[in-house]
Chains A and B, each alone.
Chain A
């Protein structure tokens, strides 16, 4: 017949085997199983089960497992490096590179027509002023044609100028303005030609100076915070109902507000992690109403 405390002893045997009981409990169990044959058999049975478990052998891993894994890793490693640079900065670099390339092209084109000019004046934002006045880069200089800066700026005031931007603004309402260069060429102040003015030529002609409108929405290229009408991405991620909790767990590293999860620079890595979930779908839109990249999670 089972002793009254054998049930309690049985409950403690699993931890007694691993020496995970308190000193007092260990002493009680030890003394009991020395005197109770039934509990002693239970102790030996539970202990042999644990010991047998240690002897279980698993099958070998597939020989090509590691290679298959590394193929997937390598596929991720390449884009991982590409997106290590935040996408917005990558766009800025690309835009800057485009400006430089166009500058070189324009310089080479216009060098034949009017060699003297200050290329630097065509770089945007340097000459912006908050005062609203039209500002020239080097007011003391004149062109080879003898026009003074004042004359150029007068032309600039008189005629609408195309907006010159290094980065294309998201705000589509920015007015198109002509630069001084374009205005002068339109009015045939250069002696040799009137080629059609293209955006590329306007950006960096070598033979004339450009006047930067102070209210231009041109991107400065220097500091994101000076941009007006900056747009960020709002990414809507949909997963299955069963994967929703895990998706929320992945996104728990982000702050959350009325716009969703504020992903910021973590956006690419978060999307990578979410893409592994069941029924993953993603749509993205640009929005100037938010101040960082966001993820909105749905199921």
Chain B
């Protein structure tokens, strides 16, 4: 069924239509929330909250932007609220959890056909671990745009719509975010260069 048709049905209160509508977006949105919040449980809670808000506010979706963009916008706001609340309450537990939870399968790589040697695998795994920790150290605004651009592959104009910022601001944030990652990962430079 066409997405717009499902949305029209959701606006009449059709919960089944909403189920079909968001089914295909859940994993991708979860991935975004996970990268933002560094915690699976928090990411699921944030995604639940975002999708509930989307259901309640479905009438406000006008169709001017893509539905995925609209969902991203809601989820981004929820994640930023969580991060700000953590900051206010001085919650630093997620940083320490981050270091232990990102092990084993969390650093699966897109390995090319010719399997790398043991050192290469170790190096790539270490690079990913360092990268995730570096992303976690970014400010909320930089983290959001870096995740959207470099991890989720969203275009600049879509990121602007999601964040409500101008294209110029998005460019500035991505630029500074990447330079911040460069600075944090300077000590691990050799892991990223062939």
* B67 / chain A contacts, CB cutoff of 8 Å: none
Q: Is the pair B30, A61 in contact by a Cβ cutoff of 8 Å?
A: yes
Task: From the candidates B18, B151, B153, B179, name the one contacting A14 in the complex (CB within 8 A).
Answer: B179
- Among A14-65, those with CB < 8 Å from B are 14-15, 17-18, 20, 41-42, 44-46, 48-50, 52-62, 65
* B174 / chain A contacts, CB cutoff of 8 Å: 14-15, 18
- Among B1-45, those with CB < 8 Å from A are 13-15, 18-19, 22-23, 26-27, 30-31, 34-35, 40, 44
B88 contacts A by Cβ under 8 Å: yes
* A10 / chain B contacts, CB cutoff of 8 Å: 179
Q: Interface digits, B77-109 against A, CB 8 Å rule (1 contact, 0 not)?
A: 000010001001000000000000000011111
Q: Is the pair A66, B19 in contact by a Cβ cutoff of 8 Å?
A: yes
Task: From the candidates A49, A72, A81, name the one contacting B182 in the complex (CB within 8 A).
Answer: A49
A198 contacts B by Cβ under 8 Å: no
Q: Is the pair A69, B48 in contact by a Cβ cutoff of 8 Å?
A: yes
B132 contacts A by Cβ under 8 Å: yes
* A126 / chain B contacts, CB cutoff of 8 Å: none
Q: Is the pair B35, A20 in contact by a Cβ cutoff of 8 Å?
A: no
Q: Is the pair B88, A58 in contact by a Cβ cutoff of 8 Å?
A: no
* A70 / chain B contacts, CB cutoff of 8 Å: 15, 18-19
B162 contacts A by Cβ under 8 Å: no
B49 contacts A by Cβ under 8 Å: yes
* B187 / chain A contacts, CB cutoff of 8 Å: none
* B192 / chain A contacts, CB cutoff of 8 Å: 45, 48-49, 52
A52 CB to closest chain B CB, in angstroms? Answer: 6
**Residue count of chain A within 8 Å CB distance of chain B:** 46
Q: Is the pair A81, B150 in contact by a Cβ cutoff of 8 Å?
A: no
| Assembled-state Cα–Cα distance A72/B49 (Å) | 10
* A77 / chain B contacts, CB cutoff of 8 Å: 13-15
Q: Is the pair B150, A50 in contact by a Cβ cutoff of 8 Å?
A: yes
* A49 / chain B contacts, CB cutoff of 8 Å: 131, 150, 178, 181-182, 185, 192
Identify the 4 closest CB pairs spanning chains A and B, nearest first. A53-B150, A58-B31, A14-B178, A77-B15
List chain A positions with a Cβ less than 8 A from chain B.
10-12, 14-15, 17-18, 20, 41-42, 44-46, 48-50, 52-62, 65-66, 68-70, 72-74, 76-77, 80-81, 84, 242, 246, 269, 272-273, 276
List chain B positions with a Cβ less than 8 A from chain A.
13-15, 18-19, 22-23, 26-27, 30-31, 34-35, 40, 44, 47-49, 51-53, 55-57, 59, 81, 85, 88, 105-110, 127-128, 131-132, 135, 146, 149-151, 153, 156, 171, 174-179, 181-182, 185, 189, 192-193
A-B contact pairs, 27 of them (CB 8 A): A17-B178, A18-B149, A18-B174, A45-B182, A48-B192, A49-B131, A49-B178, A49-B192, A53-B135, A56-B132, A56-B151, A57-B105, A57-B109, A59-B40, A59-B105, A61-B44, A65-B44, A69-B48, A69-B52, A70-B15, A72-B48, A76-B55, A242-B88, A269-B56, A272-B56, A276-B49, A276-B52
Known: A12-B175, A61-B30. 20 other contacts (CB 8 A): A15-B174, A45-B189, A49-B131, A53-B146, A56-B35, A59-B34, A61-B44, A61-B47, A62-B44, A65-B44, A65-B47, A65-B48, A70-B15, A70-B18, A70-B19, A72-B48, A76-B55, A77-B14, A80-B13, A273-B53
